[in-house]
Amino acid sequence: MGWSAGLWWLLAAVWVVVAAAATAEGEVAVGAAPRRHAYASMMYMGTPRDYEFYVATRVMMLSLRRLSPNADRVVIASLDVPPLWVQALKNDGVKVVSVKNLKNPYEKQENFNRRFKLTLNKLYAWSLVSYERVVMLDSDNIFLQNTDELFQCGQFCAVFINPCIFHTGLFVLQPSMDVFKNMLHELAVGRENPDGADQGFLASYFPDLLDQPMFHPPANGTKLWGTYRLPLGYQMDASYYYLKLRWSIPCGPNSVITFPSAPWFKPWYWWSWPVLPLGLSWHEQRRENLGYSSEIPLVLIQAVLYIGVIAVTRLARPSLSKMCYNRRMEKNTMFLLSLLRIVAAWSILAAYTIPFFIIPRTVHPLLGWPLYLLGSFSLSSIVINIFFLHPITVLTTWFGFIGALVVMAFPWYLNGVVRALAVFAYAFCCAPLIWASLVKTMSSLQVLIERDAFRLGEPNQNAEFTKLY
């Protein structure tokens, strides 16, 4: 009886497993049904900011998934993209197409910028012939709403955020191997390219786009043919927002934000906010879609290290002073003073710069800025204790940073011009204070040399100003 009951349960378990497998197979079959459209981006290696663009691409693709587009999400990745990054993209539901880097024939142009060397890989979008329409994207885009109506556009459609040149951060195309091969031929024969990158090549390849009609999606969902200009609302330049601190683009939907700014002020860097207010919007999208699990451990390690530095420095101050000053008196006091000033100035500068460069670049600003302030304070405490400097003079710049952050993050400015004037006024008022603190620091070093209590070789540990501040 017990044996038959066991056999019964075994058969039941096998049936459950088979049924689950059949259900999963059916789900995969449904999910694997080919789609006619795709949102695509590209990823390549060889720049100092490869990791940041990888994170930005994942955030953009995950934010697209939340909008439930009726399209695949595709990344055109060069063969040297790390396998772990490729697998992470696949785990996000992104299709990865591996390609060989296209050789850039414009590298020897005088105005060529090496960071755009591999951007011609964007031309591979025309080789995605399994799709009827593709929306090609740069990774510095933020989607505010679903834009599937773009798949109704023609063979090529782009936005003019510049009065005369369309922007290649977002454009619609109809894949075609004939067009792709023709583009490769144009590269081989050296078609004119003003900037040596994808922007200049495509502007040269589609020179008449400015004269084409504006795209308005047909209400019945049919696809258009030909080339069209896209309304500005599909590629809103963040600089427009900074002028009024709000969007005011009446021509078309306010759907996509782009950041064609200097590389070091892309929205994913922690210092982008509050310097550029929209940086927080990008990080909120990352927090909701991807999170910060890859950066949090390093942030915690740095925070603990800085707190330990502050504690150890305060307790070890007498030893630090002996290490620096317990030596024989030099004959040339002026030389010693000059050397001491140089060392102190560079030490203060290092205290404010080192933390900036070791913080994970793509961490949330509300973690990055407190960590920077903690790090600069801890390293400044070392300088204060070694050179017996007054804390306020060294930390004047530190307090100035805090004030600047408060002024920039103030949320009730009327517009961007008023905000810029407020920041300028604050900097104008703070500059004399910072200069005065620097002068006082240098003069205190001279007193340090001249006073008998700090004569080299005769450190007086009972002096009043050797107490812990």
Name, in order, each residue with C-beta under 8 angstroms of 287's C-beta and a sequence gap of 6 or more. Answer: 364
Instruction: Determine which of 361-365, 389-393, 433-437, 441-445 has the lowest per-residue pLDDT on average.
Output: 441-445
> Using 50, 70 and 90 to split pLDDT, how confident is the model at 265?
confident
> Using 50, 70 and 90 to split pLDDT, how confident is the model at 216?
very high
Name, in order, each residue with C-beta under 8 angstroms of 318's C-beta and a sequence gap of 6 or more. Answer: 461, 466
Instruction: Kindly list the domain boundaries of the chain, sorted by start residue.
Output: 35-289, 296-466
26 pLDDT above the threshold of 50: no
336 pLDDT above the threshold of 80: no
330 pLDDT above the threshold of 50: no
Instruction: Determine which of 107-111, 228-232, 235-239, 430-434 has the lowest per-residue pLDDT on average.
Output: 107-111
Rounded to an integer, the average pLDDT of 142-168 is 93
Query: Long-range contact list for 202-209, CB < 8 A, 24+ apart?
Result: 202/158, 202/166, 202/168, 202/171, 203/165, 203/166, 203/168, 206/156, 206/158, 206/166, 209/156, 209/158, 209/160, 209/166
Higher pLDDT residue, 239 or 141? 141
Q: Which amino acid is at 180?
A: F
> Using 50, 70 and 90 to split pLDDT, how confident is the model at 152?
very high
Instruction: Determine which of 112-126, 378-392, 453-467 has the lowest per-residue pLDDT on average.
Output: 453-467
Rounded to an integer, the average pLDDT of 138-152 is 94
- Which among 321, 333, 324, 378 is positioned nearest to 352, based on CA atoms? 378
> Using 50, 70 and 90 to split pLDDT, how confident is the model at 85?
very high
> Using 50, 70 and 90 to split pLDDT, how confident is the model at 343?
confident
The topology under which CATH files domain 35-289 is Spore Coat Polysaccharide Biosynthesis Protein SpsA; Chain A (3.90.550)
> Using 50, 70 and 90 to split pLDDT, how confident is the model at 323?
very low
Rounded to an integer, the average pLDDT of 66-84 is 96
Higher pLDDT residue, 311 or 376? 376
Rounded to an integer, the average pLDDT of 363-378 is 96
Instruction: Determine which of 210-224, 327-341, 418-432 has the lowest per-residue pLDDT on average.
Output: 327-341
> Using 50, 70 and 90 to split pLDDT, how confident is the model at 10?
very low
Rounded to an integer, the average pLDDT of 126-154 is 95
> Using 50, 70 and 90 to split pLDDT, how confident is the model at 113?
confident
- Residue 100 near residue 77, CB atoms below 8 Å: no
The pLDDT assigned to 13 comes to: 44
447 pLDDT above the threshold of 60: yes
Rounded to an integer, the average pLDDT of 177-200 is 92
Rounded to an integer, the average pLDDT of 414-438 is 93
Structure tokens at 388: 């017996």
400 pLDDT above the threshold of 80: yes
463 pLDDT above the threshold of 60: no
The pLDDT assigned to 413 comes to: 93
